[in-house]
Structure 1
């Protein structure tokens, strides 16, 4: 990271003022507002749902998770309840000034009621870049997420040393960014969203291309997660589909690699690529890897498969792994035409699995193909290798 971040982290690391609204007596989920950063000189408040599971014993402390929605989303109480059911305190905030009462059946685009204490709404892809930095949406969104963490830490019964974050789509972008800012976090799990948004190959890149070069560079340095990822010391799970419509594997793979290359001894981070995974809240929530990864970090439960070595040589791809659970299958996914990652046709071929020596290997079907290998354990959890092409990573050959 070059230069100083625009946020006052010392202030954001303090618990914000809380304004309770209501509590669901049946589920224990609270609706509330908490104080945000000022917008155009006036105070703001952020709506959120939060909850703490009932403790097993009076002195028990539970882990916690911050839940960051994406575009057309909001604070989903159902998301909070899911994590509470799994033993976590949770908070889900709305980042665009909405109050989503009665959200249980709605995860797709709809008009949410707004409130009068809000900060800015998101304007396309950083389309508000001509506004003062402190009035831009990304400044407020990241601040709201960090303040939500500070609020969670202030709740009795929450283990301050076991708080993580996950976000979907735009929430994944914010999660990737905050992972390099908030040193108090224990883990981060971006789903779909990532860094390198300025690179061609997605509609994010098109937005950067429409800016004057000097402005595009300023926006990149301010808001792209690649500016901050090098600072992250966290275990991170990176989860995406093979043909995501918003975040192509080029930039997703590159974000994962940046995180690993800056901290080569971090053996807790994982990449999980799901062939055919759609881009939606419901499909993201159905991925058990997210819950399993969190449990492995803060509850000492079984971890996802660790990729120890991935070697491409003489037409063979050899992967060495470590796993506390039995590994049941290994599959190579490869495609010849990667000019458009959204429509790339991935073929699947079973690899030879040597569970005695914790090794999977396969002869690559042909030269000139991009490929990755998925390993699946008895729980069905997927760990992926990096996306590669010959002896280079996929992003070394970005074609539009």
Structure 2
């Protein structure tokens, strides 16, 4: 009897060992096994099947919020478990709460403060630490509570993930010793494994007693935005909101340019397009989408966002983006994450305005853009922008004079032969009351974009730009800093040097005019970035700094030689035409206080910038 019991125990133990050693995915070994569409790629995978084996490593309680550092099992790959760390946060209210997954961006990590904030807004969240950076170093100095991908590695390399197996990020579909499949397969791209982990995070939320499993969402920043797009087809989700990432068509160049594509040496381009590129997913996303971005974002090209949203089988989408900025949505954008999930997950009746419809007609050499925003009782401003530049990362969005006729805003824009034209409206609305954001700032308004309208000639010839009428004026600040952006409300940045109608001849000099006070010296810092231009035109980062003094109106004149390469490096001289972004910072030398250049009074100090002969 004892022998029989021991034999039974041994048999069960061996079975458990065999079961635990079974991989979550059966490797593809033949080409005809490899799925050829995004839908086929995921239809055979069920993220609910395997136990999560959740472990709670630490818990915090503060201000009616519980925050936990947890790990859970992503799956078993190459006979080794892969586990991901995450912060799980929820309000202590005795309710089953709406909830969403947060997926951080490249180089980033999960953030407990973020989860705490959203818990105060009524949401439970799980913030997955996919990159594997250490989290609570003081509590866990050896990172025993951290993400451990085992024998696979969907990270960005050892600079971020201590246990990295590869030197860096793997986008391509080719196999290597750390990939799932031994042949070319979409499952060999890091994007697949991160999306699998994301779907397991949804399962995690489903199983929490504080969560209403019928009200789940997903959001993420940058690379997390791409993960959001690839997870948006999960039928358990009710709404998604990708930030600055998640656009399709990444393999295509910008119109009329030989640059713009970020897909190279992918292994099989057609297979990538059909299984990994977000465009392969958006066409099957049946839930509401709020795309949060910046006008010049490098990771979510502006026109690619609209092309991606056009793939949706419904019209329940919005786009919000701050102007003259790259990869940094502002308060008017961040608040839309709260509102989108409050409306579609929590069920609050926020009545978010629909995407403003627009009409675009070209007659002779003039395009008329007409936009009709909804809910005009809440509307505070309509700004119409346009550009002839096909480079969506470095283009300068010019403001077009808008004329209001009844409920419509209209603008006439010059059309040039062989040049593209892009135009849209930013519609600004007031909130019922000011609302706090995650990082402590407050906003009283939110912004939504209209449809983007484009004119793309078949015979684009960008050399025509040289024939456009030119002016040397960068800004006279009569409209404040409307042509600039600011992340800190002190320094300001513009893409104005990429305006096709700015005379950037290298023989010109840069004149900056200030109104100075006697005995109040200022420290001036200028930055000139030459990046994202494409076609081998990028030069690098340049700066100029000096002390300026005067009494009244004072103009300083700078040449290209006054700008030095950052870091003391050697390189090419700066060219006005190759400045993608130009930034200004001013500090009072005596008080050490930076001047807030976004203030309306700042125009009394910085009055004019011009390229002069």
TM-score, normalised via structure 1 length: 0.83
* Residues 278, 337 of structure 1: alpha-carbon distance in 2 compared, 3 angstrom cutoff: closer
Q: Which has the higher contact order (CA 8 A, sep 6+)?
A: 1
1:60-89 residue CA offsets vs partner (Å, 9 max, x unmatched): 321111101111012111221121121100
- Partner of residue 396 from structure 2, selected from 345, 369, 392: 345
Q: Does 1:19 align with 2:55?
A: yes
Larger radius of gyration between Structure 1 and Structure 2: 2
Q: Does 1:79 align with 2:114?
A: yes
- Partner of residue 69 from structure 2, selected from 31, 53, 62: 31
Output aligned runs, 1:73-112, within 5 Å: 73-101=108-136
* Residues 5, 72 of structure 1: alpha-carbon distance in 2 compared, 3 angstrom cutoff: farther
Q: Distance in 1 between matches of 2:173 and 2:258?
A: 16
Q: Distance in 1 between matches of 2:375 and 2:459?
A: 30
Aligned to 1:53: 91
1:9-60 residue CA offsets vs partner (Å, 9 max, x unmatched): 65303562211111013341100101102222311111100111111xx4x3
- Partner of residue 448 from structure 2, selected from 373, 383, 400: 383
Q: Distance in 2 between matches of 1:154 and 1:211?
A: 37
Aligned to 1:144: 197
* Residues 32, 135 of structure 1: alpha-carbon distance in 2 compared, 3 angstrom cutoff: farther
Q: Distance in 2 between matches of 1:116 and 1:305?
A: 43
- CA contact 1:240–1:277 (8 Å) conserved in 2: no
**Pairwise CA distance, 1:112:** 12
State the aligned residue count.
375
Output aligned runs, 1:1-400, within 5 Å: 2=37, 4-7=39-42, 11-14=46-49, 16-26=52-62, 27-55=65-93, 58=94, 60-101=95-136, 115-118=147-150, 119-120=152-153, 121-122=155-156, 123-124=168-169, 126-127=171-172, 129-130=174-175, 131=179, 132=181, 133=185, 134=187, 136-180=189-233, 182-193=234-245, 194-201=247-254, 206-211=261-266, 215-259=268-312, 262-263=313-314, 266=315, 268-280=316-328, 287-298=334-345, 299-307=347-355, 309-313=357-361, 315-323=367-375, 326-338=378-390, 340-349=391-400, 351-353=402-404, 359-368=407-416, 369-379=421-431, 380-390=445-455
* Residues 293, 9 of structure 1: alpha-carbon distance in 2 compared, 3 angstrom cutoff: farther
1:79-125 residue CA offsets vs partner (Å, 9 max, x unmatched): 2112112110001001133332259xxxxxxx999654544124436
* Residues 350, 234 of structure 1: alpha-carbon distance in 2 compared, 3 angstrom cutoff: farther
- CA contact 1:250–1:395 (8 Å) conserved in 2: no
Which has a greater percent of strand? 2
TM-score, normalised via structure 2 length: 0.56
* Residues 205, 256 of structure 1: alpha-carbon distance in 2 compared, 3 angstrom cutoff: same
**Pairwise CA distance, 1:305:** 2.0
Segments of 5+ residues of structure 1 without an aligned counterpart are 104-110
- CA contact 1:47–1:98 (8 Å) conserved in 2: no
* Residues 52, 3 of structure 1: alpha-carbon distance in 2 compared, 3 angstrom cutoff: closer
Which has a greater percent of helix? 1
1:324-346 residue CA offsets vs partner (Å, 9 max, x unmatched): 861111110111223x2211111
Q: Distance in 2 between matches of 1:46 and 1:189?
A: 22
**Pairwise CA distance, 1:306:** 0.9
